[in-house]
Amino acid sequence: MTFEANLQSLAARWSPSARWTVLTGAGISAASGIPTFRSVEGLWKNFKPEDLATPEAFARDPRRVWEWYDWRRQKIAAAFPNRGHEVLASWSQRQSGFRLITQNVDGLHERAGTASVIRFHGSIWEIRCAESCGGPGSSWTDPRAPLPELPMRCPDCRGLARPGVVWFGESIGADVLARSQEALDCDVCLVVGTSSVVYPAAGLASVARQRGAWTVEINPEPGAADVDLVIAGKAEEVLEKIDALIQRD
Ligand code: OAD
């Protein structure tokens, strides 16, 4: 099938009552100027994400891990949602069965107006006591970028604080897993802008497919996701084209 025919076949499945679930990764935010993790410009001081986003890295050098997050927070704070985020937000408002699961911690889907985002890996804007001291101020949303002190400290116990994100080797929260599993009962599952190498997120599309969803990958360098159809292209361009093809209700 041609590129145009692929877009048509996806757009033809859209209806206000269809259940579409979209899984996104860093590629959806690339056009907003936020580097993806596994691109050259995404590397910070030549560290791989697997060398920074772990409890072990934080225990070894909390200041370095915080510097990386502060660098990403500043990039995100200066960014805006792009057309890809906007199209998905408009679908979330026009389709009652729409669900969005994102691996991104940047909050751009929410800023674009997407209803009830499932944040698989947490939020970079949330900070909590690394020791789980349980004090009343030990978990908070912090919009400051740059942050005033690195490493950040818990205001209650003065121990280390950490970003409210999921690190390699940590479990996904039970509530997030349950909501994600429920969202995988869908008619169409779109996998957008992820390298599909980090589990368990990378396995979600396969579950949707096994349950009967028609699965589609949108990525300029596709290949890793278990899907029925591949649309090779940038999310912000492909989603805009599909939106233009969808019959207005
Ligand atoms: P990656 O950096 O691994 O992959 C980004 C994907 O986006 C690649 O497949 C690119 O081809 C694609 N891409 C680039 N530009 C794009 C565009 N304009 N439109 C669509 N796709 C584009 O990022 P993730 O797959 O999100 O986890 O990484 C998964 C996880 O690894 C992250 O959530 C994070 C990271 O370490 C943790 O920190 C636990």
Cα 23 from Cα 62, distance rounded (Å): 30
pLDDT tens-digit profile of 37-74?
888 777 777 788 888 999 999 999 999 999 999 999 99
CA distance 214 to 49: 31
d(CA 4, CA 241): 9
Residue 45 pLDDT: 79
CA of 198 to the centre of ligand 1 (A): 10
pLDDT at 93: 96
For residues 25-47, give the mean pLDDT.
88
Q: 158-184: per-residue pLDDT in tens? A: 999 999 999 999 999 999 999 999 999
Residue 249 pLDDT greater than 60, yes or no: no
Residues with CB under 6 A from ligand 1: 25-27, 30-31, 36-38, 42, 49, 53, 103, 121, 166-168, 193-195, 198, 219-221, 234-236
CA dist 145 and 77 (Å) reads 7
Would the pTM of this model clear 0.85, i.e. be above it? Answer: yes
pLDDT mean over 119-138: 98
Q: What is the pLDDT of residues 189-206, one digit of tens each?
A: 999 999 999 999 999 999
Mean pLDDT for the chain overall? 95
Element (H or E) spanning 59, and its range? Answer: helix 55-60
Per-residue pLDDT at 41: 74
Q: How far apart are CA 166 and CA 144, in angstroms?
A: 20
- Reported as a single tens digit per residue, the pLDDT across 217-232 is 999 999 888 899 999 9
The length of the chain, given as a count of residues: 249
- Please give the Cα distance from 19 to 16 (Å, whole number): 8
Mean pLDDT of 130-144: 97
Sequence-ordered list of residues with C-beta below 8 angstroms from that of 68, at least 6 positions apart, any chain = 44, 45, 47, 52
Is the pLDDT score of 248 beyond 70?
Answer: no
Atom number of ligand 1 nearest to Cα 193: 21
Cα(159) to centroid(ligand 1), Å: 32
CA 228 / ligand 1 centre spacing (Å): 20
- Mutate which of 86, 124, 176, 198 for ligand 1? The one with the most ligand atoms within 8 Å of its CB, which is 198
The per-residue b/e assignment along 68-92, b for 16 or more CB within 10 angstroms, e otherwise, is bbbebbebbeebebbbbbbbbbbbb
Q: Which residues contact 92 (CB under 8 A, 6 or more apart)?
A: 98, 100, 113, 114, 115, 116
